[in-house]
């Protein structure tokens, strides 16, 4: 667990204490982003206050103004961080023995959602239920950047090509859906099955998704 900065009454609003070194400042900013992600995953934007975020992070609320200007700035930086985290998962995947990018991309999505299932709920809640402003932020800061990033890998020339007529954007949507739904609907699936979903269950679903996507979208007859 990260060690967060203890708030003090001597700090001026809008700027951190001069006694904080650069590591502590970075840790405070990271703590605010992690707290925001946890709280926004649990509740809609309007129900999450800057006070709650600062309390969960264990820092002075003035640091939100210093680092992010306001709650909306923090929210947008949190969304940007989610997109960058997925891209980092993909870049750090093992690409040495794959003929298509499907498996590394699917496993990157799965790894992120397995680590923080609340991320899936946050994204889909904002897309489906909330106001147009919140939906637009998720689309512009998470969905579009990740889509463009994934498309570059899908269309790389050293991989087996997509089947003729395949829309790569639809493939990206299939990848997102096949990885997010098991984590988004975990409680419902467990209720239907009458048992808890284990790591092995998720691994089986991931592997089946990979096999389906490879068969449906990748031209297996073409040489690399």
pLDDT tens for 122-163 read 888 888 876 677 888 999 999 999 989 998 888 887 888 889
Confidence of residue 208 (pLDDT cuts 50, 70, 90): very high
**Mapping DSSP to helix (H, G, I), strand (E, B) and coil, where does residue 79 land?**
helix
Question: 34 with 139, same domain?
Answer: no
Which residue did the predictor score with more confidence, 19 or 95?
A: 95
Domain for residue 223, yes or no?
Answer: no
**Which residue, 69, 94, 117, sits at the end of a domain?**
69
**Which residue, 42, 69, 96, sits at the end of a domain?**
69
Domain for residue 224, yes or no?
Answer: no
| Confidence at residue 177, expressed as pLDDT on a 0 to 100 scale | 86
| Confidence at residue 79, expressed as pLDDT on a 0 to 100 scale | 94
Is residue 15 scored above 90 in pLDDT? no
CATH number for 46: 1.10.10.60
Domain, as residue range, for 129: 72-217
- Is 28 within 8 Å of 22 (Cβ atoms)? no
Q: Pick the closest to residue 122 from 154, 88, 85 (CA basis).
A: 85
| Confidence at residue 7, expressed as pLDDT on a 0 to 100 scale | 38
Confidence of residue 14 (pLDDT cuts 50, 70, 90): very low
Residue 182, Cβ density class (10 Å: 0-12 exposed, 13-18 middle, ≥19 buried): buried
Question: 18 with 37, same domain?
Answer: yes
Above pLDDT 90, what percent of the chain? 38
How far apart, in whole angstroms, are the C-alpha atoms of residue 174 and residue 179?
9
Six-digit token pair at 32?
């605010």
pLDDT tens for 36-57 read 999 998 888 889 999 999 999 9
Q: Pick the closest to residue 141 from 87, 88, 81 (CA basis).
A: 81
pLDDT tens for 76-107 read 999 999 999 989 999 998 888 888 889 999 99
């Amino acid at each position: 667990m990260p060690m967060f900065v203890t708030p003090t009454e001597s700090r001026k609003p809008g700027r951190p204490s001069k006694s904080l070194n650069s590591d502590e400042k970075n840790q405070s900013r990271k703590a605010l982003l992690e707290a925001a992600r946890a709280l926004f995953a649990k509740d809609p934007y309007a129900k999450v206050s800057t006070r709650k975020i600062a309390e969960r992070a264990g820092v002075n609320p003035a640091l939100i103004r210093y680092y992010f200007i306001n709650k909306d700035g923090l929210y947008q930086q949190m969304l940007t961080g989610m997109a960058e985290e997925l891209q980092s998962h993909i870049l750090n995947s093992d690409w040495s023995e794959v003929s298509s990018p499907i498996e590394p991309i699917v496993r990157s999505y799965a790894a992120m959602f397995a680590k923080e299932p609340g991320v899936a709920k946050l994204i889909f809640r904002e897309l489906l239920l909330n106001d147009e402003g919140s939906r637009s932020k998720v689309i512009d800061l998470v969905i579009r950047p990740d889509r463009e990033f994934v498309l570059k890998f899908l269309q790389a020339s050293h991989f087996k090509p997509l089947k003729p007529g395949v829309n790569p954007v639809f493939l990206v949507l299939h990848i997102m859906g096949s990885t997010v739904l098991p984590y988004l609907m975990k409680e419902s699936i467990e209720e239907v099955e009458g048992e808890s979903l284990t790591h092995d269950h998720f691994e089986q679903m991931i592997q089946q998704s990979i096999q389906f996507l490879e068969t449906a979208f990748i031209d297996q007859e073409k040489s690399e």
